[in-house]
Amino acid sequence: MTHDGFIPVAAPDLGGNEKAYVLDCLDSTWISSSGKYLDRFEAGFAEFCGARHAVACSNGTTALHLALAALGVGPGDEVIVPTLTFVATANTVTYCGAQPVFVDAEPDTWTIDPASLEARITPRTKGIIVVHLFGHPADMAAINAVARRHGLFVLEDAAQAHGAECRGRRAGALGDIATFSFFGNKIITTGEGGMVVTDDDAVAGRMRLLRTHGMDPTRRYWHPVIGYNYRMTNLAAAIGLAQLERVEWQLERRREIAAWYREELGQTDAVTCQAEKPWARHVWWMFSVLVSEGAAGRDSVMEAMRRRGIDTRPVVHPLHTLPPYADANRTQRFPVAEAIAGNGINLPTWAGLTREQVRIVCDALLECVAAVKTA
């Protein structure tokens, strides 16, 4: 998907049964928060992850909040969160009245550093959220070992990692509970949408209760708890089911595109790619690189690429630097996350990208980096 040669950073692929399923919803009039596509999408996604339960909701942020609420996170609790992640990961902890406690990243995978966890655990720590950043899974064996020693839950924020694998198991089946986003730029999209998966029957039941205003499923309009309106529509689930039917194709295309990027960028010292560990299967939601010129140089590279018709994105700001969290963390420094954030660029990554477009992006990137170095 390009316009006048413009290469976007992301674009959805809607080449399956999306239109047919949505039209079926319209013809049947089942367009709201009940219907056959919701049931089929939840069942199919649970099977895809290797989990017993999947609970669809309105977006990835509500998925995180629903999971934390069902796990009993509340005022006075602390939840460990990687500082290098999208802000929703920490915001949903604060929605519960709890405190996010930040941890640095690993320098090669950019995911949460397991070696830093132990020092951040206190008597108030309730659990750990790991983020499979840009599609690379965190080191779940090391993280789960720490969590077990301290009696903590492990929540996978897998918003960017549909189908990612750690030691042969898929994201969604690597901790106690996992959340996914289906925003328009994700590997599977419903436009807006989210999912929580777990093997815990009681937690799944509580999420289903909380998702629907806390209404007793056996007694209409009776609300034993305060809940939320976090439901997904049948229309969105129809799109999601069609996407799920082609997800293996999506994953293979992204791995092919990542291989093209690595081939084109070669062994240059000017650009460093996010790693893929031998025990991991990276799904490359974004192919992300570091340039060595610092934030000002990185921004100059991105602006130069924009002038050439190539869309890019910076890596997220570390959460401890954002205004809502900076005061509480003003003495904290997380040098790995800060370096990645200051030098990181997300390159165009979507299933319809061609070999020629990857070559154009890489040629432009290397030329723009060289120009910034000599400026």
Judged against a pLDDT cut of 50, whether residue 1 lies above it is answered with no
Give residue-wise pLDDT tens across range 180-216: 999 999 999 999 999 999 999 999 999 999 999 999 9
Beta bridge partners of 130: 156
Which H or E run contains 166?
A: strand 165-166
Place of tokens 């690595």: 262
CB 210 within 8 A of CB 63: no
DSSP state of 120: G
Please name the amino acid found at residue 343. Answer: N
Domains of the chain are: 18-245 (3.40.640.10), 247-374 (3.90.1150.10)
Q: How far is CA 223 from the centre of its chain?
A: 32
Q: Using alpha carbons only, give the angle 242, 249, 132 rounded to the nearest 5 degrees.
A: 90
Judged against a pLDDT cut of 70, whether residue 2 lies above it is answered with no
CA diameter of the chain: 71
Judged against a pLDDT cut of 60, whether residue 3 lies above it is answered with no
Dig out the tokens for 210 from the structure: 């909380």
Beta bridge partners of 157: 131, 179
Q: What is the DSSP string of 312-357?
A: -EEPPPPGGGSHHHHGGGTT---HHHHHHHHHEEEEP--TT--HHH
Please name the amino acid found at residue 152. Answer: L
Residues sharing a CB contact under 8 Å with residue 223, sequence separation 6 or more, in sequence order: 213, 214, 215, 216
CB 247 within 8 A of CB 241: no
Dig out the tokens for 250 from the structure: 């999506």
Give residue-wise pLDDT tens across range 122-143: 999 999 999 999 999 999 999 9
Which of 9, 54, 21, 81 lies closest to 285 in space, CA to CA? 9
Pairing state between β 99-103 and 53-57: unpaired
Q: How confident is the model at residue 266 (pLDDT cuts 50, 70, 90)?
A: confident
Which of 158, 126, 155 lies closest to 60 in space, CA to CA? 158
Q: Quick one: how many helices (H) and strands (E) in the chain?
A: 12, 14
Pairing state between β 78-82 and 53-57: unpaired
Mean pLDDT of the chain: 96
Give residue-wise pLDDT tens across range 208-226: 999 999 999 999 999 999 9
